Amino acid sequence: MTGEKTWWRNAVLYQIYPRSFFDSNGDGIGDLKGITKKLDYIASLGVDGVWLSPFFTSPMADFGYDVSDYCGVDPIFGTLDDFDEMLDSMHKRGLKLIIDFVMSHSSIAHPWFTESRSGKTNPKADWYVWADPKPDGTPPNNWISVFNGPAWTFDAQRGQYYYHQFLKDQPDLNIRNPEVVEALFSAARWWLDKGVDGFRLDALQHCIHDPGLHDNPARPLPPPDGKTIPRPYDMQQHKYDRNQPEMIGFCKKLRSLADDYKDRMLLAEVSGTETTIAYTNGPDMLHTAYNFSLLSHAYGADAFQEALGDFFDTPHESWPSWAMSNHDTIRAATRWSPDGRRHPAQAKMLLALLMSMRGTPFIYQGEELGLTESFVPPDQRVDTGLGLTGTGRDGCRTPMPWQKRKANAGFSKAKNTWLPVPDAHMPLAVDMQEKDKESVLHFTRRFISWRKKQPTLLEGDIMFPDGYKNVFCFTRRLGGEELFCAFNLHPESVTLPLRNDIIPLEGHGFAPANKDSGSLSLPGFGAYFGRSVAA
């Protein structure tokens, strides 16, 4: 993993949710031309590339993750010419672009499914997962959809059930069929030929099903705590509906495809440390995987230690990718707030932590502003109660605030936008934070710039020293240099032991910590970086 194929190891990547980034044509929905207009802003952050959430032709039942044309741009986002202009403009600024690619399922409106459902003998009859009802007419097995309810829907036209691990509008492709794989690979090559720098492989572990359609066993749940209501999906051990053994060979085929091109990146969306490592461990596997450990509600030094230690405690060659917020989860500034309010100091500390761990960090749009989760009134919600929040995922997807005093915070000139811009985000707009040198935005730029100059943060190993209970600490090591990193996850100041040979570093954006002989005092939500050199 040396040379030009490792750009993604040292990169900071910025996730754009195109519906909510910037609206260039006044229809209330963000688009590709809007992204192009804001590329100078993205480049000013110092990030190395962009992960762009779906923009493909789609009925939008799941906002683009239900694809009806793998080589098309949905008209609400623009045209293929707009995409080409955006990609070229990114590359001129030195920005890489990876795009979402959905291989486990398509839209119910895809021509492939239209043909497949028309009968049991047509050329695409086996392109999706079909099964007969049980003798009593019920679904073929007990598999549950990720979005709850049965993972099977009866199709009266064909007289069989089709399988969908997500919405009924998202039938699962039969990846066991070589013709399906070649069709998907052909679409992937089409985008690679256009010059995209890689793919985020959506829902990858769901691609291959058990051919015997065996029932999943029940999953023992912890005793009720009175707060958490388990999803039906969480009540099963997903032994047969995901992570089948054939996925290893499929990942190798994907890597071989990417290796036909120069300097491309494959980012797997999978959950679970064992699966993450299995899909990325070795030079013939995927480059990296999007780790979900820090997207949960678990917070604190012990929780973070467990999340990272779970990945790094066993020897392997896998390189992780990390995120604390994205388009499916409650924003970290709200999820981990100690009192439900926004804390700019905490937002800065969490960004620094994200970019200091071993791995590739992903910053979700607005995270560089310290945006909080939005409350969207029930009559204005558009998500259908999906995700883990119980009220849908709209709260993390509201439009970017660009200008405080403009309508819709400068996101759009439309009277109504696809989701409302919350009043609470107006004072956090980009133009306001540009004026404040102590803002989260300016901190993000400073820290990214500083990080680029720290080879030990970029490539060093990571170790977790004992004896730090109230703060999250780790050491990064490269050659003879050690970088000690400490993060106070709480609003109260703390004192921690510190070796006298550790010399504080500056330039990262945090105020100098109060260091005495053998100890260090960290303010609430503070962080410390110190260097030592082996004798």
Query: Do the Cβ atoms of 531 and 502 come closer than 8 Å?
Result: yes
Q: Where are the alpha helices (H) located in 322-479, listed in sequence order?
A: 332-335, 344-354, 430-435, 440-452, 455-459
Return the structure tokens found at 437. 């040198």
Nearest one of 425, 435, 423, 434 to 342, comparing CA atoms:
425
Please spell the DSSP secondary structure of 149-171, one letter per residue.
Answer: SBSEEEETTTTEEEE-SS-TTSP
Nearest one of 443, 465, 481, 451 to 361, comparing CA atoms:
451
Rounded to 5°, angle at Cα 296 from 293 and 298? 95
Residues 6+ apart with CB under 8 A from 196: 87, 97, 98, 99
- The CA distance from 323 to 227, in Å, is 25
Query: Do the Cβ atoms of 101 and 199 come closer than 8 Å?
Result: yes
Burial class (CB in 10 A: 0-12, 13-18, 19+), 266: buried
SS3 453: coil
Q: Which of 23, 269, 373, 482 is catalytic?
A: 269
**Whether 269 is catalytic:** yes
- The CA distance from 464 to 468, in Å, is 9
Burial class (CB in 10 A: 0-12, 13-18, 19+), 314: exposed
Residues 6+ apart with CB under 8 A from 159: none
Beta partners for residue 267, in sequence order: 200, 288
Query: Do the Cβ atoms of 301 and 489 come closer than 8 Å?
Result: yes
Integer-rounded Cα radius of gyration of the chain: 24
**Whether 434 is catalytic:** no
Query: Do the Cβ atoms of 106 and 72 come closer than 8 Å?
Result: no
Cα 405 vs. chain centroid, distance in angstroms?
Answer: 31
Q: Which of 202, 367, 368, 373 is catalytic?
A: 202
Starting at the earlier edge strand, list the strands of the sheet with 514-516.
Answer: 494-497, 519-522, 514-516
Return the structure tokens found at 126. 């086996």
Query: Do the Cβ atoms of 151 and 210 come closer than 8 Å?
Result: no
- The CA distance from 98 to 498, in Å, is 41
Residue with tokens 């119910």: 108
Q: Is 211 left (phi over 0), alpha (psi -120 to 50) or beta?
A: alpha
Where is 482: in which H helix or E strand? strand 481-487
- The CA distance from 226 to 429, in Å, is 38
SS3 534: coil
Q: Which residues does the annotation mark as catalytic? A: 202, 269
